[in-house]
Amino acid sequence: MAQTNKSRVNDACNLCVIALVVVLAGLLYVFGAAMSGDTLQLSESIRGAEIFDTRDVP
């Protein structure tokens, strides 16, 4: 059974939505880790990143 143009467009839209969800989940993870204060491991994974720990500064 041959696919119609409408079903191809629906398949493409479904793939785009899935890809968008994956990208947004990755961004949410990175920003969540950065905002939670667990930036030490996140910063160490980035080459050349400097860590400024200001939690103990009065």
pTM over 0.75: no
Predicted pLDDT of residue 33: 73
Predicted pLDDT of residue 46: 63
Predicted pLDDT of residue 26: 92
Predicted pLDDT of residue 27: 92
Give CA–CA dist 16/10, Å, rounded: 10
With a cut of 70, which residues of the chain have pLDDT below it? 1-3, 37-51, 57-58
- Of the chain, the end-to-end C-alpha distance in Å amounts to 71
